[in-house]
Amino acid sequence: MLVHRRWESLDAADHGWLRAKHHFQVDAAGNPAHHPLGSLIVWNDDEIAVGAGFPLHGHRDMEIVTYVRQGTLEHRDTLGSIGTIRAGEVQVMSAGRGIRHAESNRGSEPLRLYQIWLLPRERGGDPRWETRPFPEAGRFGRFAVLASGFPGDGDALPIRANARLLAATLGPGDRLTHSFAPHNNAYLVVASGRIAVDGEFVGLRDGVAITNAASIDVAALEHSELVMVETR
């Protein structure tokens, strides 16, 4: 079953320095149809102005995955971690029993990113942070696993949730079929381009909730970048 969450149907926020679209309902005033999917509870499409960002703030008992689409993100946290994450790169943060961090745009262009929140399998634990580049060549024509809490996903960044983050790049006319493990669902977003999923048109920055499906067939109508979370 596919449920299309079109760009124009997403809740939005504009704080001047931050413009955001929410693929999932973030408060009681949001779209009630955009409910969580398994452990996936937040997927924000954020644009952060040059020189702006989130000041030091805290999280606990949450797995936070950030996928940078454009620009440069600077991360600092109370573990002493400092990182610069660029377009096409991913960072993961396990908040565990508690961590404080700050994120800012230190580049010369607007910073565009996906921030994805996942419920952990267990509460507590030591907080941790990690980042790693994933060259586009490794995901061309297929979904590559970038972060995962499932066994057997190779050198993917580790998270403590029953979920995995995947990304794919397709050229015009390319097709791929992706199969799901039993009881797994997924949320797919078109970061760039236009595609069809099982014959249904999905436009730029639209999302698709995929439930009770053994597999999906994806066809690229133009050069497209896809990001997907598979969750249980």
- Which residue segment(s) compose the domain that 221 sits in? 2-231
Question: What is the reported pLDDT for 133?
Answer: 86
Answer for the pair 94, 130: CB distance below 8 angstroms, yes or no: no
Sequential DSSP letters for 170-227: E-TT-EEEEE--TT-EEEEEEEES-EEETTEEE-TT-EEEE-S-SEEEEEESSSEEEE
Looking only at the bridges linking them, the beta strands covering 207-210 and 144-148 are unpaired
Q: Is 57 annotated as a binding residue?
A: yes
Q: Is 103 annotated as a binding residue?
A: yes
- Mean pLDDT (the chain) is 96
Q: Is 101 annotated as a binding residue?
A: yes
Query: For the chain, what is the domain count?
Result: 1
Q: Is 178 annotated as a binding residue?
A: no
Predicted confidence (pLDDT) per residue in 42-77, tens digit: 999 999 999 999 999 999 999 999 999 999 999 999
Q: What is the CATH number of the domain that holds 150?
A: 2.60.120.10
